[in-house]
């Protein structure tokens, strides 16, 4: 039985990845911060078969201790400060967790495995997955973006992710570590936080339909995203660590949709005309935002055999129906 250690276990991706690995007969360990017990309790029904270990990306010693306890075959680093506006408000913390946290985890793995620079992955070595992000491309010079597109981050979050992305390459080349980065484009689900745009829209449509909310305030409706389903992306994470050689991959659908298309579909799902309920608020518009981001996932399709299975329409419908169910059950407060 293989063992996996997942950071960010209480997040959207962490919970889906845990479920996927458990279905593949893995023994799954999840790293949780000492002060994150409320979040753990809220997610426990999804993590009932996961063994939880205390640790923090801010503390290298705790990461080494977690590795010693779990003795994992694979480590998936999904922990981050993922909400881009928060990375502006807490830029230093974003760098410490999303950037330097990768360094601490790679160092812990190197120390645990006693790697001294073989320059090629050895048998039985821990395999490491880093959740990179399309935000590393920032104001990209080319669209769509692939594994060779220049990195031009334009937010503290994107810069921290770019640092982590380069660290993975450095440790792979210098220590022979099996370390890879999945450059993930936007992926959502009913487990996504309502702070993120797609969930904000799906929850807003459901709440307005049930009379729990009157308006939905959004920024630019013309902005576009390459949106996919989180459950599809965790399959790619697992597939990447199953390859003979460590390689980075862009993970996305290759198709973009505008915010307006997202809104139209969400409100159509609940039988409403969005025009009477959505308000465009200039204060919501970000001053610095990555644009023209669209994945070229052809390498993942050719070399991994991976493609996003869930269509945009199915994703939005899934999210709205889940939020309707939550609202009917009384769990409809906008987090």
Q: Verify that 64 and 147 share a domain, yes or no.
A: yes
- The Cα–Cα gap between 37 and 153 comes to 33
Q: Verify that 238 and 321 share a domain, yes or no.
A: no
Q: What angle do CA 244, 80, 163 make, to 5 degrees?
A: 65
> Which CATH number is 324's domain given?
3.90.25.10
Q: Verify that 158 and 210 share a domain, yes or no.
A: no
Nearest to 181 by CA among 294, 307, 299: 299
Average pLDDT over residues 248-274: 98
In the block, residue with structure tokens 């270990």:
53
- In the chain, pLDDT over 90 holds for what percent of residues? 79
Q: Evaluate if residue 116 carries a pLDDT over 90.
A: no
On whether residue 199 sits in a domain, the answer given is: yes
Contact status, residue 48 vs residue 15, Cβ threshold 8 Å: no
Rounded to 10 degrees, what is the CA torsion of 230, 234, 236, 241?
160
pLDDT tens-digit profile of 27-68? 999 999 876 766 777 777 778 899 999 999 999 999 999 999
pTM of the full predicted structure? Answer: 0.93
Q: Which residues contact 287 (CB under 8 A, 6 or more apart)?
A: none
In the block, residue with structure tokens 């959207």:
12
Q: Verify that 65 and 179 share a domain, yes or no.
A: yes
Q: Verify that 131 and 270 share a domain, yes or no.
A: no
Name the residues annotated as catalytic.
Answer: 133, 135, 157
Q: What DSSP state is assigned to residue 295?
A: B
On whether residue 283 sits in a domain, the answer given is: yes
> Which CATH number is 17's domain given?
3.40.50.720
Domain of 197, in residue numbers: 192-226+255-292+310-328
Q: pLDDT band at 130, cuts 50/70/90?
A: very high
On whether residue 67 sits in a domain, the answer given is: yes
Q: Verify that 201 and 282 share a domain, yes or no.
A: yes
Q: Verify that 88 and 103 share a domain, yes or no.
A: yes
- The Cα–Cα gap between 118 and 176 comes to 5
Helix or strand run (H / E) with residue 106: helix 100-113
Q: Verify that 217 and 136 share a domain, yes or no.
A: no
- The Cα–Cα gap between 200 and 216 comes to 8
Q: Residue 28's pLDDT is what? A: 97
Q: Evaluate if residue 242 carries a pLDDT over 60.
A: yes
Q: pLDDT band at 268, cuts 50/70/90?
A: very high
* Nearest-10 crossing angle of helices 156-175, 100-113: 20
Specify the number of domains making up the chain.
2
Q: Evaluate if residue 334 carries a pLDDT over 50.
A: no
Average pLDDT over residues 164-173: 97
On whether residue 302 sits in a domain, the answer given is: no
Q: Verify that 49 and 77 share a domain, yes or no.
A: yes
Q: Verify that 211 and 222 share a domain, yes or no.
A: yes
On whether residue 267 sits in a domain, the answer given is: yes
């Amino acid at each position: 039985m293989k063992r996996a250690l997942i950071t960010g276990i209480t997040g959207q991706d962490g919970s889906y990845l845990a479920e996927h690995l458990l279905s593949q007969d893995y023994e799954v360990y999840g790293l949780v911060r000492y002060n994150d017990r409320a979040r753990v309790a809220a997610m426990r029904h999804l993590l009932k078969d996961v063994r939880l270990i205390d640790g923090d990306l801010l503390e290298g010693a705790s990461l080494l201790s977690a590795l010693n306890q779990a003795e994992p075959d694979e480590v998936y680093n999904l922990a981050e400060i993922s909400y881009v506006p928060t990375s502006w408000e807490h830029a230093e913390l974003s760098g410490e967790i999303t950037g330097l946290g990768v360094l601490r985890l790679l160092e812990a793995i190197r120390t645990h495995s006693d790697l001294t620079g073989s320059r090629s992955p050895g048998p039985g070595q821990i395999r490491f997955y880093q959740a990179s992000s399309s935000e590393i491309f920032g104001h990209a010079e080319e669209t769509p973006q692939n594994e060779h597109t220049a990195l031009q981050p334009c937010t503290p979050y994107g810069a921290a992710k770019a640092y982590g992305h380069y660290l993975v390459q450095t440790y792979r080349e210098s220590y022979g570590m099996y370390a890879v980065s999945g450059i993930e484009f936007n992926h959502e689900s009913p487990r996504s936080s309502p702070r993120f745009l797609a969930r904000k829209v799906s929850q807003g449509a459901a709440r307005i339909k049930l009379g729990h909310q009157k308006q939905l305030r959004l920024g630019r409706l013309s902005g576009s995203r390459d949106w996919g389903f989180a459950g599809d992306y965790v399959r790619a994470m697992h597939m990447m660590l199953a390859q003979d050689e460590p390689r980075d991959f862009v993970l996305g659908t290759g198709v973009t949709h505008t915010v307006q298309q997202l809104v139209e579909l969400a409100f159509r799902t609940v039988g409403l005309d969005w025009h009477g309920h959505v308000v465009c608020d200039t204060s919501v518009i970000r001053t610095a935002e990555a644009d023209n981001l669209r994945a070229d996932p052809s390498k993942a399709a050719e070399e991994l055999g991976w493609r996003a299975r869930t269509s945009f329409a199915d994703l939005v419908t899934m999210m709205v129906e889940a939020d309707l169910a939550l609202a009917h059950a009384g769990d409809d407060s906008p987090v």
